[in-house]
Structure 1
Amino acid sequence: MSDEKLPILLVPDARLRQKARPVGSGDDDAVRALAPRMLATMYAAPGIGLAAPQIGSNLRLIVVDVAGKEEPPAPMVLVNPEITAMTKEMAVREEGCLSLPGQFADVERPERIKLRWLELDGTKREMEADGLLGVCLQHEIDHLNGVLFVDHLSALKRNMMLRKLAKDLKSRTRDE
């Protein structure tokens, strides 16, 4: 099991806007090799979720761990996750993204979702999620569909945030 970290793609990389393809039976070895590296990358960032498109893989694979610093790690690896139901009630929570470093905004999403996915061993799972886990899962599944959290903001807020990110990244590369 490799814990080698992977580079995280940053906006405006076009691969972040592509819809990921479902993981098929021929992808088993690649997914088993990728999952621990994605977890290592997510923990090192540090983050609470990471989708395969963020590291340049076009597979429907996400990893999440919303356990707090005082709790033992509780990593989840979800293969082909899909939201099957969501509440009409909405909740607002601040979100950030490893592909948009340093950028945060309040995002409105369904308060509770129901989803299904496959475990690495092929076991089918279903669960309901709300709170931080629910938001994290929706955020990462969005990545699989080429959607970024800034797409949930008004055009004005989104454009301001993307301009600030471009400026921050430009000054960071100048300083290195």
Structure 2
Amino acid sequence: MVARPLIFYPDPRLNLCAEPVAAFDATLRTLAQDVTDTLDAAAAAGLTAPHVGVLRRLVVLRPVPGGPATVYVDPEIVDRSPERAAAREGSVSMPGVSEVVERAISIRVRFRDLDGVARDATAEGFCAACLQHEIDQLDGIFWTARLSRLRRERVLKRFAKLQARP
């Protein structure tokens, strides 16, 4: 398949909610493979269909470089631990900047696989943070929205400076 072009901040599509997947067919499989190829080309841990301009609820996660990729179709968090941890996050759609974000340390996710079969999974640590980050993106919540106003403004200024460089 092929790595697709990424969309970049401040593209308004990054703030739109993705639509549920309607058909579990060859088109969905192609999209999943293209998102996986784009994830690999970007050397990212997770990527969504909206990152490549397709507003469908599809996440590909490969938290361990070289490890297996998992495709989550229509994922939803059904439970999260009250314990939280802070870790540095960023986005392929806003390259060059990152900031510390606090998220639940473990979650339970309900989703469908590429055949439309309902699945349930738990995730902890880095994998849980990645899934929460990507599911936020499906909900139109760009990662900077999880920052305080002051930290968000600092990230946006750093990003603007990077973009202004020749």
- Using the size of structure 1 for normalisation, the TM-score is 0.90
Q: Which residue number in structure 1 is paired with residue 44 of structure 2?
A: 47
Deviation beyond 2 Å, 4+ runs, structure 1: 27-30
Once residues 28 and 57 of structure 1 are traced to their aligned partners in structure 2, the CA distance between those partners, rounded to angstroms, is: 16
Look up the SS of the partner of 1:135 in the other structure: helix
Are 1:29 and 2:32 counterparts?
A: no
Once residues 166 and 32 of structure 1 are traced to their aligned partners in structure 2, the CA distance between those partners, rounded to angstroms, is: 36
Q: Which residue number in structure 2 is paired with residue 14 of structure 1?
A: 12
Among 122, 130, 141, the alignment partner of 1:128 is: 122
* Identical aligned residues as a percent: 37
Aligned-residue Cα RMSD (Å) equals 1.2
Once residues 29 and 57 of structure 1 are traced to their aligned partners in structure 2, the CA distance between those partners, rounded to angstroms, is: 15
Look up the SS of the partner of 2:67 in the other structure: coil
Are 1:152 and 2:146 counterparts?
A: yes
Once residues 29 and 162 of structure 2 are traced to their aligned partners in structure 1, the CA distance between those partners, rounded to angstroms, is: 35
Among 52, 58, 72, the alignment partner of 1:78 is: 72
User: What are the Cα deviations for residues 49-99 of structure 1, in whole angstroms up to 9, with x where unaligned?
Assistant: 00111110010001010114xxx4210011100100111111111111111
Look up the SS of the partner of 1:159 in the other structure: helix
Number of matched residues?
166
Once residues 23 and 162 of structure 1 are traced to their aligned partners in structure 2, the CA distance between those partners, rounded to angstroms, is: 32
Once residues 170 and 120 of structure 1 are traced to their aligned partners in structure 2, the CA distance between those partners, rounded to angstroms, is: 41
What code does the residue aligned with 1:24 have?
A: A
Look up the SS of the partner of 2:29 in the other structure: helix
Among 126, 132, 139, the alignment partner of 1:138 is: 132
Q: Which residue number in structure 2 is paired with residue 65 of structure 1?
A: 62
Once residues 164 and 57 of structure 2 are traced to their aligned partners in structure 1, the CA distance between those partners, rounded to angstroms, is: 31
Once residues 51 and 43 of structure 1 are traced to their aligned partners in structure 2, the CA distance between those partners, rounded to angstroms, is: 13
User: What are the Cα deviations for residues 106-138 of structure 1, in whole angstroms up to 9, with x where unaligned?
Assistant: 110111100011110112110111111100000
Query: Is there any run of 5+ residues in structure 2 with no aligned partner, and where?
Result: none
Are 1:107 and 2:101 counterparts?
A: yes
Q: Which residue number in structure 2 is paired with residue 89 of structure 1?
A: 83
Once residues 30 and 103 of structure 1 are traced to their aligned partners in structure 2, the CA distance between those partners, rounded to angstroms, is: 33
Give the C-alpha shift of residue 156 in structure 1: 1.0
Once residues 92 and 117 of structure 1 are traced to their aligned partners in structure 2, the CA distance between those partners, rounded to angstroms, is: 25
1:30–1:170 Cα change, 3 Å: farther
Once residues 99 and 42 of structure 1 are traced to their aligned partners in structure 2, the CA distance between those partners, rounded to angstroms, is: 12
Look up the SS of the partner of 2:25 in the other structure: helix
